[in-house]
Amino acid sequence: MKLGIVGLPNVGKSTLFNSLTKAGAESANYPFCTIDPNVGVVAVPDKRLKLLADLYNSEKVTPAVIEFVDIAGLVKGASKGEGLGNQFLANIREVDAIVHVVRCFEDPNVIHVDGSVDPVRDIETINLELIFSDLEILERRIAKTTRGARNDKTLAKELELLNKLKAHLEDGNLAISYETEDEDELAWIPTYNLLTAKPVIFAANVAEDDLADDGAKNPYVQEVREYAKKSGSEVFVICAKIEEEISELDDDEKSMFLEDLGLSESGLEKLIRASYSLLGLLSYLTAGEKETRAWTITKGTKAPQAAGKIHSDFERGFIRAEVINYQELLDSKTYAAAKEKGLVRLEGKDYVVQDGDVILFRFNV
């Protein structure tokens, strides 16, 4: 899973990205890998892993991960090729969801590209570039589809959709707000890979003082919240500068620091978990002496496909899954005791895997 961090210049994207990747680098259990200076792999915080690993005395703990991409360079005119515009837009096309950073902090030392702090104007500037880029894609599709549509009913219907989408975007709307229950339309839309069809989380970057009350007294944050409500997006209040400081601390120092700020977890942890659920993802777990590990699946995944995340042989040769909820396993103290109590279920190929399931797969090779 990949998340793209977007926003105007100087809103705090790099600061946020650096703290994410540093936090990732410092979570000793996951070998942080730099794929590219702009791509960072971050562990999904999951308290269940440590508890399970203690139970099994596991040598290794491997969390689920998500990838963040720092998409800098999105400026007014990007869709017309300003800056390195089009290249950045292509990067966004590859992500599953967008974290849109907006500046909600005042600081005379940090220049705003448009001269003043105004998060809703900023959001609309970025959205407009995304809309322009999507319109180009739609226009190309329309040209291609028009040729075939005269003799093909399906293509004619798709052409109609393309034109409806185009009108929707031309009115300043995002593709994600296009409402339809038509099954063909629902199947076609994802194939266009539109930027404005991707789910968005807003990260409202505030000053340190606004953290404790979650930005309640910051009027900019309220504006972003109102804007997000209309588009059905979530808003996260974050202070990128503080996150950068936190990412340099060890675990104990970090807890103390957060406590002083009146917080129970860092903004990054909240953000990572929110992105996970925004994308409809969940984790099942495997536990043993060698390794305790979290595996990412989408909601609704059945046992054989979940097994396939570990190895394709597991999916092909799937026989059944031994499943127990992680809390029931912890309460029972040992797997054997849980089994005796009848808490370990045998599940077949139609079982829909749940978040927090601890699973042992039985399979043929």
Could you list the residues known to form a binding site for ATP, using ranges.
10-15
DSSP output for 130-164: HHHHHHHHHHHHHHHHHHHHTT-HHHHHHHHHHHH
Which SS3 state, helix, strand or coil, does residue 323 take? strand
Which SS3 state, helix, strand or coil, does residue 40 take? strand
The length of the chain, given as a count of residues: 365
Could you tell me which residues come within 8 angstroms of residue 37 by beta carbon, excluding any fewer than 6 positions away?
none
Q: Which is nearer to ligand GDP, 110 or 167 (CB)?
A: 110
Tokens (6 digits) for 336:
């054997």
Return the amino acid letter for 211.
L
Least gap, CB of 82 to ligand GDP (angstroms): 16
Least gap, CB of 8 to ligand GDP (angstroms): 7
Q: Which is nearer to ligand GDP, 37 or 342 (CB)?
A: 37
Q: Which is nearer to ligand GDP, 12 or 215 (CB)?
A: 12
Interacting residue ranges for ligand GDP, rule: CB under 6 A: 7, 9-15, 72, 105, 107, 110, 205, 207, 239-241
Q: What distance, in Å, lies between the first and last C-alpha atoms of the chain?
A: 29
Least gap, CB of 80 to ligand GDP (angstroms): 21
Q: Which is nearer to ligand GDP, 95 or 162 (CB)?
A: 95
Q: Which is nearer to ligand GDP, 8 or 287 (CB)?
A: 8
Q: How many CA atoms lie within 13 A of 237 on its CB side?
A: 23
Least gap, CB of 100 to ligand GDP (angstroms): 11
Could you tell me which residues come within 8 angstroms of residue 211 by beta carbon, excluding any fewer than 6 positions away?
237, 239, 242, 261, 262, 263, 267
Q: Strand pairing partners for 36?
A: 39
**Cα–Cα dist 254/244, whole Å:** 12
Q: Which is nearer to ligand GDP, 161 or 240 (CB)?
A: 240
**Cα–Cα dist 356/24, whole Å:** 22
Q: Strand pairing partners for 257?
A: none
Phi-psi region at 223: left, alpha or beta (left = phi > 0; alpha = psi -120 to 50) = alpha
Q: Is 360 exposed, middle or buried (0-12, 13-18, 19+ CB in 10 A)?
A: middle
**Cα–Cα dist 117/211, whole Å:** 18
Least gap, CB of 72 to ligand GDP (angstroms): 6
Least gap, CB of 125 to ligand GDP (angstroms): 13
Which SS3 state, helix, strand or coil, does residue 286 take? strand
Binding site: what residues are annotated?
10-15
Q: Which is nearer to ligand GDP, 11 or 189 (CB)?
A: 11
Q: Which is nearer to ligand GDP, 218 or 275 (CB)?
A: 218
Least gap, CB of 11 to ligand GDP (angstroms): 4
Least gap, CB of 78 to ligand GDP (angstroms): 14
Return the amino acid letter for 107.
D
